[in-house]
């Protein structure tokens, strides 16, 4: 997948909301700027260096995870950017990480990442109503029925992001449909699956089962629906599963 190298503009940073540095793991002298607003303007960044994500914006802080240059599907890896701060003239970004447990975040030196990439979309997945909805610029632009995880393999809930797009699973007759998005979420039950139990959003060869609780945790869509979604949504899009 080709990168879009678009820097975070000064105007975007100026519009970011400054919040108290008394939040988790931030030195009291620093200020934190909120970078992303779901459904309006959010930012992600590609991983340029295999740096260490820390609990605090400090090179001596507790290690949270190590960034990877490639995903398990061999696409360029990326992280979703939540906040930024500057400590001792060094810029740090707090990012959402594609690691266990789900919901893990960490502080990463900004120079380990690409320029920030903007997205104006937000994918919302409801395991209750069995619907997937795409918000763009604050407005709903797409909705479709889905299949989600069975009770013994539930689709994990929380805040995630679209980590990559893969088209190598086959055509319309494939079990996974014509394409699959994979998210930063992982199954809490199927930890020994390929890729560590990555949770995907993909097509299906069994559309008659939708909507329903039919999967091992992934989100299934009718092939025609996921092909429509592909035209509307880029990687890096934040994902909320409820």
Secondary structure class of 176 (helix, strand, coil): coil
Domain 121-241 has CATH 2.40.440.10: yes
Domain 10-119 has CATH 1.10.287: no
Q: Are 10-119 and 121-241 the same fold in CATH?
A: no
Q: What is the pLDDT of residues 119-139, one digit of tens each?
A: 999 999 999 999 999 999 999
Report the pLDDT value the prediction gives residue 6, as an integer from 0 to 100.
Answer: 52
105-109 and 90-96: which strand pairing?
Answer: antiparallel
Residues 6+ apart with CB under 8 A from 203: 172, 174, 176, 177, 178, 179, 180, 220, 221, 222, 223, 226, 227
Secondary structure class of 166 (helix, strand, coil): strand
**pLDDT category of residue 169 using cuts at 50, 70 and 90:** low
How much is the average pLDDT of 101-118?
98
Report the pLDDT value the prediction gives residue 15, as an integer from 0 to 100.
Answer: 42
How much is the average pLDDT of 172-192?
84
CA distance 53 to 97: 9
Higher-confidence residue: 176 or 29?
176
Domain boundaries, the chain: 10-119, 121-241
**pLDDT category of residue 167 using cuts at 50, 70 and 90:** confident
The average confidence (pLDDT) of the chain is: 88
Q: What is the pLDDT of residues 7-42, one digit of tens each?
A: 554 334 444 434 434 444 444 458 999 999 999 999
How much is the average pLDDT of 177-201?
82
Report the pLDDT value the prediction gives residue 4, as an integer from 0 to 100.
Answer: 47
How much is the average pLDDT of 209-229?
96
pLDDT higher than threshold 80 for residue 177: yes
How much is the average pLDDT of 149-162?
97
β-partners of residue 84 are 33, 93
**pLDDT category of residue 189 using cuts at 50, 70 and 90:** confident
Q: What is the pLDDT of residues 33-47, one digit of tens each?
A: 999 999 999 999 999
Longest dimension (CA), the chain: 58
Report the pLDDT value the prediction gives residue 16, as an integer from 0 to 100.
Answer: 44
Give percent above pLDDT 70 in the chain: 83
Query: Beta strands of the chain (E only): which ranges?
Result: 17-19, 32-34, 42-46, 52-54, 63-66, 78-87, 90-96, 105-109, 117-119, 121-126, 131-136, 139-145, 147-149, 158-166, 180-186, 198-202, 212-215, 219-220, 238-241
**pLDDT category of residue 193 using cuts at 50, 70 and 90:** low
How much is the average pLDDT of 158-185?
87
Task: For residue 235, give both structure tokens.
Answer: 């990687």
């Amino acid at each position: 997948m080709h990168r879009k190298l678009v820097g975070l503009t000064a105007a975007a940073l100026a519009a970011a909301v400054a919040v108290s540095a008394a939040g988790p793991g931030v030195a009291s002298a620093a200020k934190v700027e909120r970078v992303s607003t779901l459904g309006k303007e959010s930012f992600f960044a590609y991983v340029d260096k295999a740096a260490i994500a820390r609990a605090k914006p400090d090179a001596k802080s507790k290690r949270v995870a190590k960034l990877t240059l490639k995903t398990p599907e061999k696409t360029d890896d990326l992280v979703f950017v939540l906040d930024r701060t500057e400590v001792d003239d060094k810029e740090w970004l707090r990012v959402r990480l594609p690691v266990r447990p789900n919901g893990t975040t960490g502080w990463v030196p900004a120079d380990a990442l690409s320029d920030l990439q903007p997205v104006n979309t937000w994918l919302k997945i409801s395991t209750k109503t069995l619907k997937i909805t795409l918000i763009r610029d604050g407005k709903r632009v797409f909705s479709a029925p889905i299949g989600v995880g069975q009770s013994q393999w539930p689709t994990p809930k929380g805040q995630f992001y679209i980590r990559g797009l893969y088209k190598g699973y086959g055509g319309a007759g494939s079990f996974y449909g014509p394409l699959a998005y994979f998210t930063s979420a992982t199954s809490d039950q199927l930890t020994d699956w390929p890729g560590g139990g990555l949770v995907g959003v993909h097509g299906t060869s069994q559309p008659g089962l939708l909507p329903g609780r039919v999967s091992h945790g992934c989100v299934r869509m009718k092939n025609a629906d996921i092909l429509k979604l592909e035209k509307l949504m880029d990687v890096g899009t934040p994902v909320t599963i409820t």
